[in-house]
Chain A
Amino acid sequence: MSGRPSGEESSRTDEEVNLEPDLRQAVIDLHGRLEELDYYALLGVERTIDRKAVKRAYFEAAAKFHPDRHFRKKLGPFKVKMEAIFTRLTIAHDTLADRAKRTEYDAYLQARNRSRSIEELLADALAEVRRVEENVEQQVRMSASSGAAPAPSPAPPTAVVEAREPPPASTAAKSPSPVVDDAARRDALARRLLGGQRKPSGSTATAPQASPPARPPQTTPEAMDALRRRYEDRVVHAKAAQARGYVEKAKSAIAGGDAVAAANALRVASNLAPDDADIGRMAKDAQAKANVIVGQTYTQQAEYEERHGHWSEAARSWTRACNARESDARCHERAANAILRAAGDLHEAAALGRRACELDPSNAAARITLASVYLAAGLMLNARRELDTAAQLAPHDVTMREMIKQANKTP
């Protein structure tokens, strides 16, 4: 609820509007959010509410917002706003008070919420991979500086390491070839690790516990490489450990019947352990299962949107359904059709239409949709070609004959 701009609006209309300030504010607030509120939120009721209570809530709201409550008073711009609110309240009531309409609406809301949470999950998965990676590096770094144990390190030793920073940094500047940032960072890190090394082993054993100024000349390129490898190994191991955690998570998600969460966890896992073939296989498997659900959810949502003529929403949902159902010709055909009707991107529509035809070459509907897209884009030759194919597939389809006529008429 944005208080400020509406406050301005209400004060601006102060003189000519004969309406209590509270109600005025309520009208502005509600009117501004009409589109975003679902019917339950609009009526201010719970999802589980019964029919009688829906009516009660509607009547209460109607008693407040019906323009007749302010008959022949100066309402200025508020009259139209109140009428819009009232119309919306009525639609909400008519939907929720009718069993069939409400069931349909609930299914739609559920599909929408589900697809919303799926979208959030997907976005989260990538963020999570990034977060875990950073964590791992940090931990490895810290454990390296505090000792061999990969346990979280206490703060003081780190502070010691930090205090020694300047000299290694100066050697980094002396490195022979220009290095990319990442490499430089790792070099720096490796040197820091070297400085913090308490248990010498392998080539690094040559590094005595000397005073810092003595160290830099001893850091040969080989030693640097070895250090880097060691560091990377540790990171890989730590990541693998994390990945196992995610695999466990995925397993329990599968046990709980949540294929989407499982796929997501495995996605994170396979990102953390890209070389692990098992995890890769599991992830692929889980993704396929999740796709079935995601595809269903979006399809369901898209069908409702289609039925109610919300074409741009339908276009979006169908497109997402296509991502999950890569080899479903109908999804692609409907997506192309919805984009066309929503006056969306014709290139995208054509690509989807072509894909639909590829997937099911004998599908006349897909040909016709693709032809419609071409017609809309003014590509008459392409349209005619698709229509000719369609004509062979379904010689009796009237829509198509009509379109062929149209295509032939237009030069």
Chain B
Amino acid sequence: MEKVIGIDLGTTNSCVALIENGVPTVIPNRGGYKTTPSMVAITEAGKRLVGHIAKRQAITNAENTVYAAKRLIGRKWTSPQVKNAVATSSYRIVQGPHMDVRIVLRDKEYSVSEVSAMVLQEMKVIAEDYLGQPVSKTVITVPAYFNDNQRQATKDAGEIAGLDVIRIINEPTAAALSYGFGKNVEKTIAVYDFGGGTFDISILEIGSSGVFKVVATAGDTFLGGEDVDARVIDWLVQGFKTEHAIDLRQDRMALQRLKDAAEKAKCELSSVRDTEINLPFIISSGRNEALHLQRTIDRQTLEDLSSDLIERTIDICQQTLLDAHLDKQDIEEVLLVGGMTRMPKIQRMVADFFERDPCKGVHPDECVALGAGIQGAALTDDKHEMVLLDVTPHALGIMTQGGYFEELIPQNTTVPTHRTKIFTTSRDHQTAVKIVVMQGESQRAEENELLGEFILTGLRRAPKGSVEIEVTFEINADGIVSVHAKDLETGKEQSIEVTASSGLTRDEIRDMMEDAKDYMVERRSTEEFEAAKQEAERIVGEIERLLPQVEQIVATSDFGRDAIEKARSIVTKARAAIGRRDLAAVKSEIEGLSRTHRMFKGVVAKTH
């Protein structure tokens, strides 16, 4: 039977693995290394270089060497992440024809998927050399927090590389598979994955029947080791500027050398207390003399530079536990994944947070690829009695009247799954609705990712709200989303299989929203609105009950009068929102009302 390889397509390094004679094994590259830099370069002669060989020549060929392409994959040109990358990368990033991102190497534009495909192809070759036979099937890992467009772009990269991507799985999930493989355990584990470009946290339950159930997953796709490097670079650049009044960022080659040096120093500081950064002839002073950069950095400095980034990861852990209704005590094992977890401060903070020492049993650089290999074997080989119950990392829903996002499948829902909701028309005599399928957590549609759209036509001409449309979302085991809309009156149906794409911008979505106004549906919100209304009215009642007391207590101070004024205006706004029957507004007013109520209670309690 044909082997399925698992590929960890990392931001900085990639790794390939498979199951060999029942043992998950990492395949070393020709140089004997188990991981390969995710770098691609084109030489002056037009030769393509991938991996270590590309990394080695990066300094002298900075403009034509791509690193961290993963940060750009599946993203839109207008996204802040891309803007940031354009400003800080030593290679050129330009706008593609579909508002997508292109990378310029030797005057030729490449899509990000193409660049990633070059890395994947290299991994494929490594596996084929090792096995002595062709390989076509693969499981590729992505950060848990990747949205569908990023996942699709990764799949596209696999296809470009000539691979059949049988499944995309999440990196922390893969790490958990490699941890639990062959062990007959029942445990709830947390996987803290701090890699080169992304941070992910996943909570999984491992069951005795070879079942791995993802309970919750969260993360930040723009928080990684590269950000720590950037802090070190900043520190070096600032120091150099103070000393020589020269901005090293202006020089692409200097920037590339700084980048290398910063990464190296960061890694060294995991094992030593201090290290020297020595970059001779970094730049010309402009007065015909060469300047050198020479500085010592100690572990404390690195920790200070990166402490807010690390704290952010701990905050995300906290939030994830909360969302999953779990206590720290429920976590029976903590896995550390990704190169950044070698940093002693991170190990300390994670251990402090979870109140337990992290597991030493998994290799932070290799376990993701191993897990991908395990999933590949589990899917294709009946010998492996193992099944992974994954979740959808982002909520799925549709855009409704007023540009709101109405969720149908919540975040962290186990797939396969399906959900149905009923919507109504939002205009009188509306004969068509546009179903705009989106992904994300924001209440505002425009802040979420657009996945696709279609139009359901032939509705009965009727006053708004009287034609009902049933919308069903379905995610199958392969992660493919399909959406059906049905006119409950005529039984007429429309559906699409959502194939994620990149290509539309926020502006386009906004424009489209304008165009589509007549098409929008409205949530049949009576129940939800009534609930929100009752809640809001209850708090308003409480506030008004306390108001005379509070007034008596604080009316003497300007601050107090101001607070009362604010409280009144919140109550007025809430009433207005109720009057407009604006569910989203009522919901958001409830927050303000609750705050005011808490404050009032506090004031009254203090005085008594």
Which residue numbers of A lie inside 8 Å of B, CB to CB?
52, 55-56, 58-60, 62-63, 66-69, 71-72, 79, 83, 86-87, 90, 94, 98, 309, 398-399, 401-402, 410
Give A248 to B530 CA distance when docked, in angstroms. Answer: 50
Across the interface, name the chain B residue whose C-beta is closest to A52: B186
Which of B208, B476, B527, B578 sits near A398, CB closer than 8 Å? B578
Whether A71 contacts B380 in the complex (CB less than 8 A), given A398-B533, A398-B578, A402-B581, comes out as: yes
Give A291 to B208 CA distance when docked, in angstroms. Answer: 49
Of B39-47, B338-346, B381-389, which binds chain A?
B381-389
User: B477 near A66 (CB under 8 angstroms)?
Assistant: yes
B252 part of interface (Cβ distance < 8 Å): no
Task: Sort A-B residue pairs by CB-CB distance and give the 10 closest, nearest first.
Answer: A59-B207, A59-B211, A71-B379, A67-B477, A63-B209, A83-B416, A59-B209, A90-B414, A66-B387, A60-B209
Q: How far is the CB of A270 from chain B (nearest CB, A)?
A: 43
Whether A398 contacts B581 in the complex (CB less than 8 A), given A63-B209, A71-B380, comes out as: yes
Give A87 to B208 CA distance when docked, in angstroms. Answer: 20
Across the interface, name the chain A residue whose C-beta is closest to B379: A71
User: B213 near A59 (CB under 8 angstroms)?
Assistant: yes
User: B417 near A68 (CB under 8 angstroms)?
Assistant: no
User: A56 near B417 (CB under 8 angstroms)?
Assistant: no
Q: How far is the CB of B287 from chain A (nearest CB, A)?
A: 67
User: B533 near A62 (CB under 8 angstroms)?
Assistant: no
Q: Which of B271-299 contact A (CB under 8 A)?
A: none
- B229 contacts across to A, CB distance below 8 A: none
Q: How would you classify the secondary structure of chain B's contact residues: helix, strand, loop or mixed?
A: mixed
Q: How far is the CB of A76 from chain B (nearest CB, A)?
A: 15
- B578 contacts across to A, CB distance below 8 A: 398
Give A302 to B416 CA distance when docked, in angstroms. Answer: 30
* Proximity string of chain B (416-459) to chain A, C-beta cutoff 8 Å, 1 when within and 0 when not: 11100000000000000000000000000000000000000000
B579 part of interface (Cβ distance < 8 Å): yes
* Proximity string of chain B (445-484) to chain A, C-beta cutoff 8 Å, 1 when within and 0 when not: 0000000000000000001000000000000110000000
Whether A66 contacts B389 in the complex (CB less than 8 A), given A56-B208, A59-B208, A83-B477, comes out as: yes
Across the interface, name the chain A residue whose C-beta is closest to B581: A402
User: A56 near B207 (CB under 8 angstroms)?
Assistant: yes
Across the interface, name the chain A residue whose C-beta is closest to B210: A63
User: B379 near A68 (CB under 8 angstroms)?
Assistant: yes
* Proximity string of chain B (394-430) to chain A, C-beta cutoff 8 Å, 1 when within and 0 when not: 0000000000000000000010111000000000000
Ordered by A's residue number, 5 sampled pairs between the chains whose C-beta atoms are within 8 Å are A63-B209, A67-B416, A71-B166, A72-B380, A399-B530
Give A58 to B388 CA distance when docked, in angstroms. Answer: 13
User: B418 near A87 (CB under 8 angstroms)?
Assistant: yes
Across the interface, name the chain A residue whose C-beta is closest to B527: A309
Kindly list 18 other residue pairs between chains A and B, CB separation below 8 angstroms, not including A52-B186, A56-B207, A62-B211.
A56-B209, A60-B209, A62-B387, A62-B389, A63-B209, A63-B210, A66-B387, A71-B380, A72-B166, A79-B476, A83-B416, A83-B476, A90-B414, A309-B527, A398-B533, A398-B578, A399-B530, A399-B533
Which residue numbers of B lie inside 8 Å of A, CB to CB?
166, 186, 205, 207-211, 213, 325, 378-380, 385, 387-389, 414, 416-418, 463, 476-477, 527, 530, 533, 578-579, 581
- A58 contacts across to B, CB distance below 8 A: 207
- A83 contacts across to B, CB distance below 8 A: 416, 418, 476-477
Which of B186, B477, B581 sits near A68, CB closer than 8 Å? B477
Whether A63 contacts B385 in the complex (CB less than 8 A), given A68-B379, A71-B379, A398-B579, comes out as: yes
Give A67 to B208 CA distance when docked, in angstroms. Answer: 19
- B388 contacts across to A, CB distance below 8 A: 68
Give A98 to B326 CA distance when docked, in angstroms. Answer: 10
Q: How far is the CB of B591 from chain A (nearest CB, A)?
A: 20
Which of A55, A72, A87 sits near B205, CB closer than 8 Å? A55
Give A71 to B388 CA distance when docked, in angstroms. Answer: 12
- B387 contacts across to A, CB distance below 8 A: 62-63, 66, 68-69
Give A94 to B325 CA distance when docked, in angstroms. Answer: 12
- A55 contacts across to B, CB distance below 8 A: 186, 205, 207
User: B325 near A98 (CB under 8 angstroms)?
Assistant: yes
Q: How far is the CB of B123 from chain A (nearest CB, A)?
A: 22
Q: How far is the CB of B390 from chain A (nearest CB, A)?
A: 9
- B385 contacts across to A, CB distance below 8 A: 63
Give A398 to B210 CA distance when docked, in angstroms. Answer: 55
Give A126 to B210 CA distance when docked, in angstroms. Answer: 54
- B205 contacts across to A, CB distance below 8 A: 55
Q: How far is the CB of A1 from chain B (nearest CB, A)?
A: 24
Give A309 to B470 CA distance when docked, in angstroms. Answer: 14
- A59 contacts across to B, CB distance below 8 A: 207-209, 211, 213
Q: How far is the CB of B522 from chain A (nearest CB, A)?
A: 14
- B380 contacts across to A, CB distance below 8 A: 71-72
- A52 contacts across to B, CB distance below 8 A: 186
- A94 contacts across to B, CB distance below 8 A: 414
